[in-house]
Structure 1
Amino acid sequence: MARGTRDEEFSEYVAQRRTQLRRIAYLLCGDVHKAEDLVQTALMKLYVAWHRVQREGNIDAYVRRILVNSGIDESRRPWRREEPGLDGLDPVMAEGLAVEDRRALIEALASLPLGQRRVVILRYFVGLSVDETATDLNCVPGTVKSQSARALARLNDMLTAQFRAVGGHR
């Protein structure tokens, strides 16, 4: 395959998926700048392995796995243990929830343990099945199910408590 064709195919893939990759990365790390770094890292690694990954046929799963693994690697670095972002400069979520609700959801998601947060993002944001999530995270489906159940219960508890604290009547 000619280099020009490889570059064109890679560029087309990036143009189609970049926004989704940024969203996934943001949900993983909670900071727009770190998310962009994760996406860049993932795309560099994908470019190097482009022929192999394209031949195997599941490019999206490969990139998601890179994002998750790179996010873990970055979170372990001591200089990454800082407070995320500046108020008002983090990206805005899609319309549908009030600003307060979006903020509460992002904060609740960020408070989950990393394993639970990864499962929630892949299962409910990306929309993967239990088996696909297990493959991406290199674990068994039972782990995905248990992490998902714990995460959803914890999110429900946190968001319900916060809703009651601000005077909601659901």
Structure 2
Amino acid sequence: MRQSEEGVFREFAEARMGPLFRSACLLTGGDTHFAEDLVQDTLGRMYAVWGRVTRLGNPAAYAQTVLVRCYLGHRRRRSAGERPSDTLPDRADRDPGDSALRMTLLDALRGLPPKDRAVIVLRYWEDRSVTETADALHVSSAAVRTRSTRALARLREQLGSSIGELTAR
């Protein structure tokens, strides 16, 4: 990679690291260590093909796709024997109600299968269309619609009325 391309990649990586990390946290159900690993793996893969990526025209969208594929690939490997803890470390938050809502949502997301979680994160957190989500996951649009409908129903079952209590504050 030439010096100028490396500088452009460095700027891209610095600008996208935060959004990639937030998406990775949602995908991993709040496991920040795994999320950091996913972001580093994503940026490493992006660096390896940076010349081709810049010709595509939208490196940010490509990075999100790579992130989701890294996540799903890790979940498919049998060697992924580490299990996340049920509790997250204590953190100081400004708004305890917001913290409770976030924790409740992360717990509910953690209860979804990996592919369903990926569909929910791409469709509703990343605000991608059904077609973009289908392309990112290499599935049909019908599969995305079906997965999102079923995943949302599971989330509603898991959250029940507790989400209303948390948002009413």
| TM-score of the two chains, using structure 1 as the length reference | 0.84
Separation in structure 1 between the aligned mates of residue 80 and residue 51 of structure 2, nearest angstrom: 34
Q: Percent identity?
A: 35
Deviations, residues 136-162 of structure 1 (Å, cap 9, x unaligned) = 111111111111111111111211154
* Structure 2 residue 161 is matched with structure 1 residue 134: no
Separation in structure 1 between the aligned mates of residue 40 and residue 78 of structure 2, nearest angstrom: 17
How far does residue 80 in structure 1 lie from its aligned partner after superposition?
3.7
Which residue number corresponds to residue 69 of structure 1?
69
Q: Structure 1 44/50 Cα, relative in aligned 2: closer, same or farther at 3 Å?
A: same
Separation in structure 1 between the aligned mates of residue 130 and residue 142 of structure 2, nearest angstrom: 9
| TM-score of the two chains, using structure 2 as the length reference | 0.85
Separation in structure 2 between the aligned mates of residue 67 and residue 91 of structure 1, nearest angstrom: 28
Which residue number corresponds to residue 81 of structure 1?
82
Q: Structure 1 40/119 Cα, relative in aligned 2: closer, same or farther at 3 Å?
A: same
Separation in structure 2 between the aligned mates of residue 90 and residue 130 of structure 1, nearest angstrom: 35
Separation in structure 2 between the aligned mates of residue 110 and residue 27 of structure 1, nearest angstrom: 9
Which residue number corresponds to residue 147 of structure 2?
147
Gaps of 5+ in 1: none
Gaps of 5+ in 2: none
Q: CA RMSD in A?
A: 2.9
Report runs of 4+ in structure 1 exceeding 6 Å deviation.
none
Q: Structure 1 91/27 Cα, relative in aligned 2: closer, same or farther at 3 Å?
A: farther
